[in-house]
Structure 1
Amino acid sequence: MSLANNKARLRWACRRGMLELDVLFMPFVDEAYDDLSEADKLTFERLLSCQDPELFAWFMGHEQCEDAELNAMVQFILGRVKA
């Protein structure tokens, strides 16, 4: 089931075990998620299905995600944070 139609479930899925990820995902959902294309929303949901250690490594720049779509979403989120 897609989380796109249920913002409360999406926000719950953004709550992670690491504060560093929470401070990236929660504002992104509140401020930018609604403006994403349907394809990008699905990519973001797929990103949320990844494990916290992977996400942490990608967002902190320790590793690069090999999945091009997920990597593009990581870079998009990081770009919003830096802007």
Structure 2
Amino acid sequence: MSRYDREARSKIRWHSRRGLLELDLILTRFLEREFDQLSDEQIDAYVRVLEHGENDFLDLVNGKFDLEDPDCQAIVERLRHG
């Protein structure tokens, strides 16, 4: 059974909102297409990725740098190719 019930997933969706339109579009598409299929470990990684500031987050998605954490990097790759 998942540690992330409906309410927890809703909170994560809310925290996915960004001020930069480009990020909002990327994250909205990811949430619509992939979020409900993520494992708890993948959601943990997604939440860690969300901790990045908007400019760093945009640079991540645009491939300007990668993350050392392989689980987080896997989420970034999914966002890049979403």
| TM-score in terms of structure 2 length | 0.79
Question: CA RMSD of the aligned region, Å?
Answer: 1.8
Q: How many angstroms does 1:77 deviate by?
A: 2.0
State the shift of 1:9 in Å. Answer: 1.7
Percent identity reads 26
Q: CA deviation at 1:68?
A: 2.3
The count of aligned residue pairs is 78
Identify which of structures 1 and 2 has the higher relative contact order when contacts are C-alpha pairs closer than 8 Å and 6+ apart. 2
- Structure 1 distance, partners of 2:71, 2:61, is 14
Name whichever of 18-27 and 58-67 sits farther off.
58-67
Per-residue deviation, 1:32? 0.9
Aligned twin of 2:65 = 63
Deviation at 1:34, TM superposition (A): 0.9
SS at match of 1:50: coil
Report the Cα offset of residue 78 of structure 1. Answer: 1.7
Q: Residues 46 and 72 of structure 2 are in contact (CA less than 8 Å); yes or no, is this contact kept in structure 1? A: yes
CA deviation vs aligned residue, 1:10-53 (integer Å, no higher than 9, x gap): 22111112111111111211221110111001111111122111
